[in-house]
A and B are shown apart, each in its own frame.
Chain A
Amino acid sequence: PAYLQTSQAQVLSSKPDYQKILDEQGEVFCCVELVLDELQQAVKLLQ
């Protein structure tokens, strides 16, 4: 695109993939869900 020849070309060409960043947060929830499942099982066992 034409703006890659401009004064802020470096900033524009280093734009992060924001969609990917948001998609990666799904992994965080999966991980915490697993942890809570483990906690639940451990508590049941202890109970």
Chain B
Amino acid sequence: SVNPMAYEAQFFGFTPQTCMLRVYIAFQDYLFETMLLVESVMLKKMDGFPDCKISPFELRKSTEKFLLFMKEHFDKLFSKMEEVLLQLVLNIPKNVLLPEDKVHEQYPDSKEQFQALQDEIHQLQEQYRAEASAGQALRAELEEQKVVQAELEKILQWFDGLENICRKYGTSNFKESFTFLTQNSKKLQDMLKDVEKKSK
């Protein structure tokens, strides 16, 4: 099975295999280009020798022979280099945790914790909303109380006003006044009876 080296890709920003492939293709291209350069230089030099019996075809065969040999060794050596680099350099050991993943070490049972926290938070939010409603209701009652208190105080003031009127017109104590008036009217009735009797 192929190790995708995803964790290494997270750190480096590229997969190590991609990096090695890029390097391999580049090296291979340089080898081919340089060989072509060698061949073209030789061809140019051969043009300078009119007695030269080497054909371009023969030269090409020599180039192919040398290139084949070089390519074989190149592939073997590159394969070893790739192995070493992937194991020792472009590799994150199994016991190593990258700094950005430290949180996973702190919260290993995060799935259960996440769910429990979500539930708790939901409950707290509901509680807060309820308290906010309760606060509004309490403040509304305070306003209502102001109105009711004002009305009740008005009634007491009305009683005060009534008593002030009575006092203004000379009657601060109705009980005493009525007792006095009742006694006086009884006296007057008695005097009238007396006068009527004496006149008869």
Report which A residues bind B (CB closer than 8 A): 1-3, 5-9, 11-12, 15, 18, 21-22, 25, 28, 32, 39, 42-43, 46
CB distance from B47 to the nearest CB of A (A): 99
* Residues of chain B from 124 to 140 with CB closer than 8 A to chain A in the complex: 126-127, 129-131, 133-134, 137-138
Determine chain A's interface SS by DSSP, over half rule: helix
Specify which chain B residues have a CB less than 8 angstroms from the CB of A12 in the assembled complex: 134, 137-138
Q: Are A3 and B148 in contact (CB under 8 A)?
A: no
Specify which chain B residues have a CB less than 8 angstroms from the CB of A21 in the assembled complex: 148, 152
Q: What number of residue pairs across chains A and B have CB atoms under 8 A from each other?
A: 47
A-B pairs, top 8 by smallest CB distance, nearest first, are A3-B134, A6-B134, A3-B133, A2-B130, A18-B148, A6-B130, A46-B181, A6-B131
Q: How far is the CA of A3 from the CA of B131 in the complex (A)?
A: 6
- B118 is an interface residue with CB less than 8 A from chain A: no
Specify which chain B residues have a CB less than 8 angstroms from the CB of A18 in the assembled complex: 144-145, 147-148
CB distance from A35 to the nearest CB of B (A): 9
Q: Are A15 and B133 in contact (CB under 8 A)?
A: no
Q: How far is the CA of A15 from the CA of B182 in the complex (A)?
A: 50
CB distance from A22 to the nearest CB of B (A): 6
Q: Are B134 and A25 in contact (CB under 8 A)?
A: no
Report which B residues bind A (CB closer than 8 A): 126-127, 129-131, 133-134, 137-138, 141, 144-145, 147-148, 151-152, 155, 162, 174, 178, 181-182, 185
A25 touches which one: B127, B137, B151 (CB < 8 A)? B151
CB distance from A46 to the nearest CB of B (A): 5
Task: Name 7 extra pairs, CB < 8 A, besides A3-B134, A12-B137, A18-B147.
Answer: A2-B133, A5-B130, A21-B152, A22-B148, A25-B151, A32-B162, A39-B174
- What is the chain A residue whose CB lies nearest that of B148? A18
Q: How far is the CA of A21 from the CA of B152 in the complex (A)?
A: 9
Q: How far is the CA of A42 from the CA of B179 in the complex (A)?
A: 12
